[in-house]
Amino acid sequence: MAVLSEELRDQIRAQFPKYPNKQAVVLPALHLVQDVHRSVSIEAVREIAELLELHPSEVHDAMSFYQFFKDEKHPLGKHRVWVCRSISCMLRGGEELLQHMCERLHVHPGQTSADGKITMEFAECLGACEGAPCVLVDDEAHMNITHEKADELLRSL
């Protein structure tokens, strides 16, 4: 039985005209699959490779090179929270903020809370230095985050 729905396959195929060749669609395809399934399974890698007319190892190489993608043994939580560790954020307490949020969730960076709701990660730069320290929750940036604001964010998720 196929892992990728026909709708998801169509979304991947819709990327073809946007790129010079099918190999260039690997990253968008991985993002689409992970957004739906919260991970990219080995079977999904095979099906993406088939759609893109590539060897599965080529898709897996891209997936493993970018640590953004999660496999089926380590799926993303419902929400993904990134704490910035750039020099600007570090100087304004980013490392301590990351540690504080991890302690609140009883996880280490890269892990998902026991209830499956939040995956905590760090980013080398989120590009919001003017609001250091900053946190990205899913696709929404939050700036000038204190421990109290971090606690509110976590509670809201």
Q: Is the pLDDT of residue 67 over 80?
A: no
Q: Quick count: other Cβ atoms within 10 Å of Cβ 80?
A: 19
Confidence (pTM): 0.79
**Mean pLDDT score of the chain, rounded to an integer?**
95
Secondary-structure breakdown of the chain: helix, strand, coil percentages, each rounded to the nearest 5: 50, 10, 40
Q: Is the pLDDT of residue 145 over 90?
A: yes
Q: Who wins on pLDDT, 144 or 68?
A: 144
pLDDT at 135: 97
pLDDT at 20: 96
Which of helix, strand or coil describes residue 123?
strand
Q: What is the mean pLDDT of residues 124-138?
A: 94
Residue 1: band (very low, low, confident or very high) from pLDDT cuts 50, 70, 90: confident
